[in-house]
Chains A and B, each alone.
Chain A
Amino acid sequence: MEALFSVLVGALFAVSIYLFLSKHIIRVLMGVAILGNAVNLLIFTNGRLLREVPPVIAADEYTLQQAAANPLPQALILTAIVISFSFFAFLLVLGYRAFQELETDDTDEMRVAEPADEEAPPLGY
C-alpha cells in the first residue's frame, strides 16, 4: 500500500513541478494546489498506513480500548491543509490583482519591479 501511495505522491509532485515551470501565473497556481495535496499525501503516507479504527473514545469510556490509527499525521495534515488553503486563496487574489494591474499573466512580461530598460549606472564619478 505504501508503495502505491509513494508512486501517487511522486506523480503529483511531477505534475506540480511541470506546472510550476510554466511562465503563466494561472498554471503555476494550479501547480500550487497540486503541490499542497502532494505534500499532504506524503505526510499521510509517512505516518504509516494502517487498517485501524479512528482514535475516538466511545461515549461511555475514558480511554481508548483498542489499537487505533495514529492521529498525529492527521493533525499535521489538517494544519498543512489550512495553511496551503489560505496560501492558495491569497495567491489567487494576488495573481488576479497582478493580472488586473499588469495586464498580463506571463511572468516574462512582468518587468515592472525590474525594468529591462533601466538606466545604466554611472561609470565615473
Chain B
Amino acid sequence: MAATSSHSVDLSQAMNVDPTPLADWLVVMPVVWCLLAGAILLMLRKRTELQASIGIVALVGLCLLDAALLWRVLEEGPFTMVMGRWLPPFGIAFTVDLLGAFFTMTSGLVALAAGIFGRDDVDSTGRRYGFYPFLLLLMAGVSGAFLTGDVFNLYVWFEVLLISSFGLLVLGSEREQIDGATKYAFLNLVGTTLFLVATGYLYGLFGTLNMADILIKAPELRQTAPLMTLVCLYLLAFAMKAAAFPVNFWLPASYHTPKLVVSGLFGGLLTKIGIYALLRVLVMLFPIERAELGWVIAVLAAGTMLLGVLGALAQNDTRRAVGFLVISGIGMMLAGIALGSPSGLAGAILYAAHSMVVMTAIYFAAGIGGRVSGSFLLSRSGGIYPSHLVLAFATLALFLSMAGLPPFSGLWPKVMLVKAALDVGEWWLAGAILVTGFLTTITVGRIWALAYWKPRAADAEPLDPASQKVPMTSVIGLGMLTVLTVVFGLWPEPLIAISQDAARGLIDTSSFVLSVFPGEVPQ
C-alpha cells in the first residue's frame, strides 16, 4: 500500500515535499520528448510517408527544448531534478551543467540536420525498418547521457543509444552492413561491459552512484580506496567508446557500411559521448587520478591523432578515410583532457562541439560526392568540381575546417589546445597537434584533388543521369551544418566563452554539488 502521510512516517526525511517548478522539467524533457516521439514513430512504421514529416517536426521540437535548457543553464547555472521525489542520493538525479547543456544543444542541431538529410537519403525500405524512430531513440540516449547526474544511469543511456545505433547500423540488412555491425556490436559490448565493471567497483567503494555524492565522498576515500584502478578501468572503457588508439579498430571496420546519413550521425555523435564521459568521470569526479594519468592520456592522444590521420592518408575509399579522420579528431580532444588545465579542457570541449558538426557534415558531403561521381573510391571518382560547383566548395570548406585552417571553426579549438599545451611546457603534444593538422591538410587536399578537382577519366563508365541531381533536403542538411561551421569560425567568441565556462564548471564543482545538495558545504 502507499505510505500516505496519515501514517506516522516523516516523508520529508526521504522525499522532496516541495512542489517542483515547471522549469525544472527542462532537464528531463529532451529525453522524454525523444522517447515519446520515437515510440509514436515506431508504432507508425508502416506509414512511411508520414515518418519524415513527424520525425523532422519532433527534431525541431528537440532543438527548441535544448535551446531553452541551454538558456536556463546560462542564466541560472546547473540545476537538478531527482526522479520520483526521492531526496538525493536515493533517487536517480538528472543534473545539467553548462557542459551537458552545450553538448545536448549541439547534438540536437546535428540530429536535426541528419533528420532533414535522411528524408531522401533513406529510401522507403529504410524508413520501414525504422530510420526515424531509431534516430529519435538514439537522441534519447544521447541527451540522457549528457543530462544525467548518476553514473549507473549514464551506463543505461549508453546502452539505450547503443541499441538504437544497432538498429540504425543494420538498416536495410545488406551483407556489408551485417559484417560491419557484427564487429561494431561485439566490440562495443566489451566497452560498455568494462564501463559496467568499473561502475560495480565504484558502487562497492563509494556506496553511491550519484555524481555529486561521489564528489563529496571522494576526498576522504582517496586515502584508502584503490581509486587509481577504478580510473584506469574507466579510461579503458571510455577510450574504447571514443575509439582512441589502441582500441579504435572497430570504427574503421564499421562506420563506412551503413547509409551515409547514419555514418554521419555516428561519426558526429557517438564517439563524442565517450569523450563526454571521460570529461565527466575522469576530469570532474577524479581530477587527482586524472592528473596522475595525464602522461598516459597524452601518449594515447598523440598516438590516436597521428595514427588516425595516417590511416586516412592511406585510404582509397573516401568514407573509410573520413572514419579515420574521426579517430584523429578524438586524439585532439584527448590531448585537452590530458592537459587538464581550464584552457585545455575548454579547447577539448570546443573541439568536440566543432567535431560533432563538421564530421557529420563531411560524411554527408562524402555521401553526396560518392553518389554524383558514381564511386566512393578515389581511384575511380573524379570530376565533381565542374558539374557540382557549390558541393565542391562546401566540401572544401568542411575539409579546411577539419584541418583547422581559418576562417572555419576548426581553427579556434586547435589554437586553444596548442596554447594550453605550450603553457604547461608540453611542447611535444603541441607539436603532435600541429603535425596532425599538417597531415590532415594533406589528406583532405588529396581527397579533394582526386575526387573533386581531377577531371573524370575518359574511359570511365558513363554516369547515371538520375544520380546527378542532388535532392533539396540533402542540400539543406549539408548547408545547415556548413553554415554553422563558417559562423563558428567567423564569430567564435560566444562559443569560446561557453566552453571556458563549461571547463571551469568541471574543475570547480561546487555549483554542480550545490544544485544536487542545497546547503552542502562545497569541498
Contacts and interface: CB of A to CB of B under 8 A. Distances in A.
Decide if A and B are genuine partners. Answer: yes
A76 interface: yes
A110 interface: yes
Nearest to B166: A90
A91 B256 contact: no
Contact of B190 (A20, A48, A86): A20
B193 interface: yes
Interface stretch (B196-204, B266-274, B334-342, B365-373): B196-204
Given A101-B178, A121-B314, A39 B378 contact: no
B316 A98 contact: no
Interface in A34-91: 35-36, 39, 42-43, 45-48, 62-63, 72-73, 76, 79-80, 83-84, 86-87, 90-91
Contacts of A108: none
Contacts of A120: 316, 379
Nearest to B169: A94
Interface string B259-279: 000000000000000000000
Interface stretch (B69-77, B180-188, B344-352, B501-509): B180-188
Contacts of A73: 203
Contacts of B189: 32, 87, 91
B179 A98 contact: yes
B521 interface: no
Given A39-B193, A114-B253, A94 B178 contact: yes
A97 B378 contact: no
22 contacts: A39-B196, A39-B197, A43-B199, A43-B203, A47-B203, A48-B204, A62-B9, A73-B203, A76-B200, A76-B203, A87-B189, A91-B185, A97-B173, A98-B178, A102-B175, A102-B179, A107-B183, A110-B179, A112-B179, A114-B252, A119-B380, A125-B450
B196 A91 contact: no
A28 interface: yes
Given A35-B190, A43-B203, A45-B204, 15 more contacts: A32-B189, A42-B200, A62-B8, A79-B156, A83-B156, A90-B163, A91-B186, A91-B189, A94-B182, A101-B173, A110-B183, A113-B254, A118-B316, A120-B379, A122-B379
A52 B512 CA distance: 36
A12 B182 CA distance: 23
Contact of B7 (A62, A113, A121): A62
B377 interface: yes
Contacts, number: 111
Contacts of A20: 190
B interface secondary structure, majority: helix
A25 B179 CA distance: 12
A25 B178 CA distance: 13
Contacts of B200: 39, 42-43, 46, 76
B186 A28 contact: yes
Nearest to B255: A113
A interface secondary structure, majority: helix
A86 B163 CA distance: 9
Nearest to A25: B182
Nearest to A123: B379
B449 interface: yes
B439 to A, nearest CB: 15
Contacts of B185: 90-91, 94
Interface residues of A, number: 44
A113 B256 contact: yes
Contact of A94 (B170, B175, B199, B454): B170
B466 interface: no
Contacts of A87: 159, 163, 189
Q: Which 4 A-B pairs have the closest CB atoms?
A: A46-B204, A121-B316, A43-B200, A112-B179
Contact of A119 (B170, B183, B377): B377
B23 interface: no
Contact of A83 (B159, B197, B253, B317): B159
B51 interface: no
Contacts of B182: 25, 94-95, 98, 107, 110
B193 A119 contact: no
A10 to B, nearest CB: 12
Nearest to B202: A46
Contacts of B159: 83, 87
Contacts of A76: 152, 199-200, 203
Contacts of B377: 119
Nearest to A20: B190
Nearest to A88: B189
B315 A121 contact: yes
A79 B179 contact: no
B166 A122 contact: no
B458 interface: no
Contact of A121 (B9, B378, B454): B378
Contact of B201 (A46, A80, A114): A46
Contacts of B9: 62-63
Interface in A8-41: 20, 25, 28, 32, 35-36, 39
Interface string B1-35: 00100011100000000000000000000000000
B3 A122 contact: no
A122 B378 contact: yes
Contacts of B199: 43, 76
B304 interface: no
Given A20-B190, A94-B178, A113 B253 contact: yes
Contacts of A111: 179
Contacts of A28: 186
Contacts of A107: 182-183
A105 to B, nearest CB: 10
B447 to A, nearest CB: 10
Nearest to B315: A121
Given A79-B152, A91-B189, A114-B253, A119 B454 contact: no
